[in-house]
Chain A
Amino acid sequence: MTIALDQNRPARSYREVTRWDRLKTNRNWLAIWFMLPAAAFLILFLAYPLGLGVWLSFTDARLGRDGVFVGLENYEFLWDDTTFWLSVFNTLLYTSVASIIKFAVGLYLALLLNERLPFKAIIRAVVLIPFIVPTVLSAIAFWWLFDPQFSIISWSLKKMHVITTNIDFLGDVWNARASVIFANIWRGVPFVAITLLAGLQTVSPSLYEAATIDGATPWQRFRFITYPLLTPIIAVVMTFSVLFTFTDFQLIWVMTRGGPVNATHLMATFSYQRAIMSGYLGEGAAISTAMIPFLLAAILVSWFGLQRRKWQQGENND
């Protein structure tokens, strides 16, 4: 079969397709360029400092003096350092107690705010306040609240004749630990509460209605509907909460500087003290690097928690 072509159409001239032409339209090549700014940012401010930190931990660098490679010497030294182990214990105690209470209180507040409440918008704004106030500012406020002489808590309790002498909030080992944990909880609850509230609001109200008609009590509605549907968000929010708490520095540094007698030293504050205050950069870096396995463990736990459950998957995965 022949097709009649318009013979009068002017012939177009085509140029040979070069390698450069092909590269210009290559999606992968373009993708690299689009990713470059973000990648540069991450490498410069995240990967490089992290790598440098790890490298420093294998050297005997001091402030103002480049170190030489000393292998695991810093770690061997830390292994026999009781203060280091105390800081590990403190960090684990601080993280676990604060995270569990933050989760419980945050979940409670989220469930409360998800109900029909008068002045809900105002209450929600109030809940967020601790999160908005700069950490250092709230730490200073707590420092005053827990002041050995001028503490308003001691003053009030004395007025109510509950106690006769001031409570030594930050001077006693366990009081100090409880005080900083309390401050951390106060600061961390809004994040947990608001994120969980967002999660709760994605649950369709008709599911609760269906469950109500199916005969579920409020507790059963929570246990069988809310909780299972909320687990993916709980996993995310608690991972972040644990990471932030584990690496906390500001609150402790402002309130106690790790005292009394290192009772509230976390790994982060201890590392800072060794590296910057005392100038032993290598040793400080080793303390920081020692946090990595703990953080990785926390991330792994959440990674397994976050794995898409069967009910979240699409049609092809049965």
Chain B
Amino acid sequence: MATVGIHDVRKAFGLTPVIHGVDVDIADGEFVVLVGPSGCGKSTLLRMIAGLENITGGEITIGGRVVNNLPPKERDVAMVFQNYALYPHMTVAANMAFSMKLRGAPKNEIDTRVNRAAAILGLGPYLERYPRQLSGGQRQRVAMGRAIVRDPQVFLFDEPLSNLDAKLRVQMRTEIKELHQRLKTTTVYVTHDQIEAMTMADKIVVMHDGIVEQIGSPLELYDKPANQFVAGFIGSPAMNLIKGKIVVNGVASFEGPNGVKLPLGSAPENSNGRPAVYGIRPEHFTIADDGAEAEIVVVEPTGSETQVFAKLGGDEVVAVFRERHKFNPGDKIRLKPDQSVVHLFDEATGKRLTA
């Protein structure tokens, strides 16, 4: 177990820079998720920690030791790949034992460790099978077993669940989290799925176009997104972002498209008339007589809740209700945002305006 430090790390492929100075501090035993849309540089960053890509600029430390120029095997990290990268010609046991065999560990030690890992992951009955004879979830477990046997300082996961079906993904998500709680090994986990990030992470790093947009705990990111990108990326369905301007006329309010008036708890000083983006999460709408009028476009019941897509001012917004309303497309409803949880963002920079 060890801390991982990423300081002003940069990466360029040839002349194309892909990571423009990233800083992340990972505490000992922490579960950190790097999340972002494809092409944001999260996998490249992970591969730089692993030593599979060299570092163009900046510094990566593992356990306080700068590893920039260390080959992967001296970094003491284990990695789980998206396609599992199991050695097809080796049995499950041999796959897990491979790293120790290379190190020349004594046979009984290898057996002990492999059996321990197999017991943790429930792979006991499959030790003599070949990867081809396993299901997707089992292969995923073998890949994790290979990492556990190493007993490394840091676990690295590169989108490990994206090849699994939806149900298995949820199950493996819990298993990985459980495993982390049990082993308490520092973990860096890459995913493009914000739900995976929210459910698993102690700390989320949201990346976009090679920079870090925000670092924080899942709920921090959800409650106080630092900018419009994070606001739109975290949460499903996504936050409604409505363009307009702040109006301070005794009380603060927000004027959306076509003059729709939306309530504001407070506005930054001297912001009357300032163009801004109004953010409200779908679950923070209520139906109230003093709400803004909207016309329902689509109703999607999921059972536990109902998603309603409606035209508000000209913009389409989505609202989520846990209670069961009788809604039909074309109905006029009055949507009222909860003004205590409204997010305001600068229109030009996308930065958060409210505290």
Q: Which of A213, A214, A313 is close to B132, meaning CB atoms less than 8 Å apart?
A: A313
Within 8 A of A (CB), among B94-139: 98-99, 102-103, 128-133
Contacts A229-B88, A318-B129 given: A213-B102 contact, CB under 8 Å? Answer: no
Please, how many angstroms separate the alpha-carbon atoms of A80 and B85 in the complex? 60
Q: Are B103 and A210 in contact (CB under 8 A)?
A: no
Nearest CB of chain B from residue A103's CB, rounded to whole Å: 20
Min CB gap B336→A, angstroms: 52
Residue in B79, B102, B129 whose CB lies within 8 Å of A216: B102
User: Given A229-B88, A229-B89, A313-B132, do A213 and B78 touch, yes or no (CB 8 Å)?
Assistant: yes
Q: Choose among A210, A213, A315 the residue with the greatest number of B CB atoms under 10 Å from its CB.
A: A213
Residues of B within 8 A of A216 (CB): 73, 102
Query: Is A309 close to B, CB under 8 A?
Result: yes
Residues of B within 8 A of A224 (CB): 87, 98, 102
Report yes or no: B102 in contact with A220, Cβ–Cβ below 8 A.
yes
The 8 Å CB contact of A204, one of B50, B83, B89, B146, is B83
16 A-B pairs (CB sep. < 8 Å)? A206-B81, A207-B85, A207-B87, A209-B85, A210-B81, A213-B73, A214-B102, A214-B150, A215-B102, A215-B103, A216-B73, A224-B98, A228-B89, A310-B130, A313-B130, A313-B132
- Residues 64 to 99 of chain B near chain A (Cβ within 8 Å): 71-73, 77-79, 81-83, 85, 87-90, 98-99
Bound form: Cα–Cα A118–B117 in Å: 43
Find residues 187-232 in chain A having any chain B CB closer than 8 Å to their own CB: 204, 206-207, 209-216, 220, 224-225, 228-229
* B contact residues around A225 at 8 Å (CB): 87
> Is B183 positioned at the interface, with any CB of A under 8 Å from its CB?
no
Contacts A215-B99, A314-B132, A315-B133: A206 and B85 contacting too (C-beta < 8 A)? yes
Q: Determine the residue in chain A with the shortest Cβ distance to B150.
A: A214
Q: Is A312 an interface residue (CB 8 A)?
A: yes
Asked if A311 CB lies within 8 Å of chain B CBs, one says: yes
Chain B interfacial positions (CB closer than 8 Å to A): 50-52, 71-73, 77-79, 81-83, 85, 87-90, 98-99, 102-103, 128-133, 146, 150
Bound complex: CA A131 to CA B246 (Å): 76
CB-CB nearest in chain B for A310: B130
A225 to B90, CA, bound (A): 10
Chain B min CB distance to A290 (Å): 39
Once the chains are docked, how many angstroms separate the CA of A206 from the CA of B160?
13
Chain A residues lying within 8 Å of B85, measured Cβ to Cβ, are 204, 206-207, 209-210
Say which residue of B50, B83, B128 sits within 8 Å of A213 (CB atoms): B50
Residues of A with Cβ closer than 8 Å to B? 204, 206-207, 209-216, 220, 224-225, 228-229, 309-315, 317-318
**Cβ-closest chain B residue relative to A231:** B89
B50 nearest in chain A by CB position: A213
Q: Considering only CB atoms, which chain B residue lies closest to A228 in the complex?
A: B89
Looking at chain A's contact residues, the main secondary structure is helix
Q: Which residue of A lies closest to B83 (CB)?
A: A206
Residues on A with C-beta less than 8 A from B73 are 212-216
Given the contacts A206-B83, A213-B50, A213-B73, A311 and B88 also touching, CB distance less than 8 Å = yes
Contacts known (A311-B130, A312-B132, A315-B133); A213 close to B79, Cβ less than 8 A: yes
Shortest Cβ distance from B133 into chain A, in angstroms?
Answer: 5
What residues on B are CB-neighbors of A215 within 8 Å? 72-73, 99, 102-103
Give every chain B residue within 8 A of A228 (Cβ-Cβ).
Answer: 89
Say whether B79 contacts A309, CB under 8 Å: no
Most buried by A among B78, B99, B131: B99
Contact B132 A210 (CB under 8 A): no
Residues of B near A229 (CB, < 8 A) are: 88-89
Q: Are A210 and B89 in contact (CB under 8 A)?
A: no
Q: How far is the CB of A202 from chain B (nearest CB, A)?
A: 11
| Complex Cα gap A318–B82 (Å) | 26
Residues of B within 8 A of A206 (CB): 81-83, 85
Q: Which residues of B contact A312 (CB under 8 A)?
A: 88, 132
Alpha-carbon gap, A228 to B88, bound state (A): 10
Cα of A310 to Cα of B89 in the assembled complex, Å: 8
The residue on B at minimum CB distance from A309 is B89
**Once bound together, how far apart are the Cα atoms of A206 and B72, in whole Å?**
14
**How far apart sit A95 and B108, CA to CA, in the bound complex (Å)?**
46
Which chain B residue lies CB-closest to A225? B87
State A317–B130 Cα separation when bound (angstroms): 10
Q: Shortest distance in angstroms between B341's beta carbon and chain A's nearest beta carbon?
A: 43
Please give the distance in Å from A218's CB to the nearest CB on chain B. 11
B88 CB contacts on chain A under 8 angstroms? 229, 311-312
CA distance A214 to B101 in the complex (A): 10
Supposing A207-B87, A311-B90 touch, asked if A213 and B133 sit within 8 A by C-beta, the answer is: no
Closest chain B residue, CB of each to CB of A315:
B133
| Known A204-B83, A210-B146, A215-B99; 4 more pairs at CB < 8 Å | A212-B71, A309-B89, A311-B89, A317-B133
| Contact (A209, B133) CB under 8 Å given A215-B73, A228-B89 | no
Most chain A beta-carbon neighbours within 10 Å: one of B77, B89, B128, B133: B89
Q: Report Cα–Cα, A318/B52, bound state, in Å.
A: 35
**Contacting pair A210 B129 (CB below 8 A):** no
In this complex, which of A206, A207, A214 has the most chain B Cβ atoms within 10 angstroms of its Cβ?
A214
Give B88's nearest chain A residue, CB to CB.
Answer: A311
A285 CB to closest chain B CB (Å) equals 45
